[in-house]
A and B are shown apart, each in its own frame.
Chain A
């Protein structure tokens, strides 16, 4: 099933996920700490751990691309600080 769900409103509600992570080259002390903790728990061979945030939202739009464009815009304006973070918006898989 697709991500679009018909609503009583004018558009369609799209379930969208936005991931925010620190940009490459920006030190990530949280990710590094998690990475260092893993061997103690028996997990080996795990590297490049980066910590971030995930946001889930419903966006009313006429198309998937419009929903994603809106998500990208709000992610760059508010959810992330482009000085140090990257953001990626994608449609959520329906459960």
Chain B
């Protein structure tokens, strides 16, 4: 059974949602406090949503200096599966593990609503169980989720098939409707929407399962 680390920063608030989703898919979640300098024995690691270090300065700006991020960097460099959700995505961009940045939403409103995602690539650890063009209903819950990058970075994203998910109707003004990106290798992924909150039709949508099952499943095969 795969073990998935869930990093907890001071100010994280989606770590239990992430852990419950992981457990629901048959894997074992393991909380990792941000001051840890080692991830321990895990097959994948999730940086959950919230407001790490109060989002002071910029979302993710201080979290990237938490000791655990050195361990996450090493894990990612070794090919380990890393997933940043919402604030976790912001942390990964600030840490340089993913390209681009997340700025304030167009319209300056906090967005808390369902969003329809379109799968753009199945090459990443998050989308390997999905199909290109598939629509997924997954909620968003953020103020700084507008994906931005310069032209050179954007061209690289396209050339390397790093755009993982797009919004159908771009609620936050992201460049090219981008909702999630991966690194070149596809083992590090970040997205603003919350797949861990789309695990049950009773609660609105179970479309997050196709994403997180891929993440958990690939992690298991990596460890085998």
List the interface of chain A (C-beta within 8 A of B).
22, 25-27, 29-30, 33, 78-79, 81, 83-84
Does B104 sit within 8 A of A, measured CB to CB? yes
Kindly provide the distance from the CB of B148 to the nearest chain A CB, expressed in whole angstroms: 6
Contact flag A83-B100 (CB < 8 Å), given A26-B148, A78-B57, A78-B61: yes
* Chain B residues with a Cβ under 8 A of chain A: 57-58, 61, 65, 93-94, 99-101, 103-108, 146, 148-150, 153, 173
**A-B contacts, 18 listed (Cβ < 8 Å):** A25-B150, A26-B103, A26-B148, A27-B146, A27-B148, A29-B106, A29-B108, A30-B104, A78-B61, A79-B57, A81-B61, A81-B101, A83-B100, A83-B101, A83-B150, A83-B153, A84-B101, A84-B148
Contact (Cβ within 8 A) B105 A29: yes
Chain B neighbourhood of A81, CB < 8 A? 58, 61, 94, 101
> A30–B94 contact, CB under 8 A?
no
User: Are B103 and A22 closer than 8 Å at their CB atoms?
Assistant: yes
The 5 tightest CB contacts between A and B, nearest first, are A83-B101, A84-B101, A29-B108, A81-B101, A84-B148
| Among A22, A26, A29, A83, contact of B107 (Cβ-Cβ < 8 Å) | A29
- The answer on a CB contact under 8 Å between B108 and A30 is yes
Most buried by A among B101, B105, B106, B107: B101
State A84–B30 Cα separation when bound (angstroms): 34
Is A83's CB under 8 angstroms from B148's CB?
yes
* Nearest-CB residue, chain B, relative to A26: B148
- Compute how far the CA of A38 lies from the CA of B100 in the bound complex, rounded to whole angstroms: 32
CA distance A49 to B111 in the complex (A): 25
Chain A residue at minimum C-beta to C-beta distance from B65: A78
* 20 new A-B contacts at CB < 8 Å, known A27-B148, A29-B106, A30-B104: A22-B103, A26-B148, A27-B146, A27-B173, A29-B105, A29-B107, A29-B108, A30-B108, A33-B108, A79-B57, A81-B94, A83-B93, A83-B100, A83-B101, A83-B148, A83-B150, A83-B153, A84-B101, A84-B103, A84-B148
Distance to closest chain B CB from A6 (angstroms): 31
- CA of A22 to CA of B58, assembled, Å: 12
